Structure 1
Amino acid sequence: MKEQTLYIDDMVCYRCVMAVERILEEADWRVLEIELGYVRTLSPADNAPLQGISDALRNVGLRLRQDGHNLVAQVKGVVIEYVYDDLATTDIPLSEIIVRQVELSYSYLSRHFSCSEKRTIEEFYQLHRIERAKRLLFQTNINIKAVAKRLKYKSPGHFSASFRKLTGETPSGFRAKGDYKPRPIDKL
């Protein structure tokens, strides 16, 4: 058996993690560690072919990255996990959390992300925050102050201003309208 790290594009949630784990186990690969964007494995043979795994991943909307590290997928995974984790700390800036997880300098990651995605990490983060805000406003009755807190805004006013800037409407106006169709988080 040979240890390998596989980098996988478009892993954005824990269902993706479960799908990757299932695909690898069905192909007799042993999963050592799995996170959004990559998996450390033991292959069943030293030169185990990756084509079957690549095809199976493609069938569930994921893509095996053949060129090694996928820093963009790792950064996206950290950002999405942070946005959807209500218990994540706000004592540590998101940039520091990204640096700790990916183990590269933020300036390097930021340049690489911007060149690859044609948007900044901050823009990606804000897009996901607002999408989650829309879901919370549409699917729950929690008040705007609680939504702001869950999304780690400094104040409800800051949340409302950001929401209005990015959507053109206030959070309460959006909620009152009541016509929202959730967007898949891997398509934002």
Structure 2
Amino acid sequence: MVVELELERLGFLCRSIEIGCADIIGEVTSEDLLKIKTALHKSGLELVDSKKGILVDKIKSAVIDKIQGSKEHLRGRFSDYLAIKLDYDYTYLANVFSEMESTTIAQFIIVTRVEAAKDLLTNSELSLTEISWKLNYSSVAHLSTQFKKITGFTPSHFRQTTDQALENV
């Protein structure tokens, strides 16, 4: 919404706006890009105008969509999913991502899955088994191991602590 409002305020019309992509109607000059970049920066956003930066945004969006939005269970490996979805060799995707983000796609996937698990533990009554299945973990133990590495807590302890904190509010 912020991007749409800023672009409208600057006088640009868009065909569509999605995470990481705005399809602007008409020609956009380098002067226009500078205005857009400045306006977005003031709103705490950044304009990605390099091909590698755009590819990294597409990788992030594909990961987030698959983890948070997809009702369909992932079949196979995430690397295969990304290679097919983005139509690039996974090695190339991994190299670009690491170069631009100073972390790996695998680590980004783990952190994103753990964040989704935290959200589900806090805002749903799903069991750990259901959460691990929903987030494409091979087992509850795998979820628990990654969760503890990232947060320092087991999922059960995290849920317990969060529930107690909510009761005290």
Equivalenced residue count is: 163
Q: 1:81, CA displacement in angstroms?
A: 1.8
Q: Which runs of 5+ in 2 are unaligned?
A: none
Q: Which residue of 2 aligns with 1:82?
A: 66
Larger strand percent: 1
Contact 1:137 1:175 in 2 (8 A): yes
Superposed CA offset, 1:80-107 (max 9, x none): 2222114143125322332234332211
2:132 to 129, 145, 148: 148
Q: CA deviation at 1:180?
A: 10
Structure-2-length-normalised TM-score: 0.79
Instruction: Assess, with a 3 A threshold, how the Cα gap between structure 1 residues 126 and 33 changes in structure 2: closer, same or farther.
Output: same
Q: 1 CA distance for matches of 2:16 and 2:81?
A: 19
Would you say the 8 A contact 1:129–1:151 is kept in 2? yes
- d(CA) in 2 for partners of 1:107, 1:32: 33
Q: Does 1:54 align with 2:54?
A: no
Identity %: 31
Q: Is the 8 A contact 2:52 2:100 kept in 1?
A: no
Task: Tell me the SS of whatever aligns to 1:52.
Answer: helix
Gaps of 5+ in 1: 1-17, 182-188
List aligned pairs for 1:57-76, cutoff 5 A: 57-70=40-53, 71-76=55-60
RMSD: 2.6
CA distance in 2, matches of 1:31, 1:94: 32
Match of residue 99 from structure 2: 115
Structure 1 CA distance, aligned partners of 2:80 and 2:5? 32
Work out which structure has the larger RCO, using CA pairs closer than 8 Å and 6 or more positions apart in sequence. Answer: 1
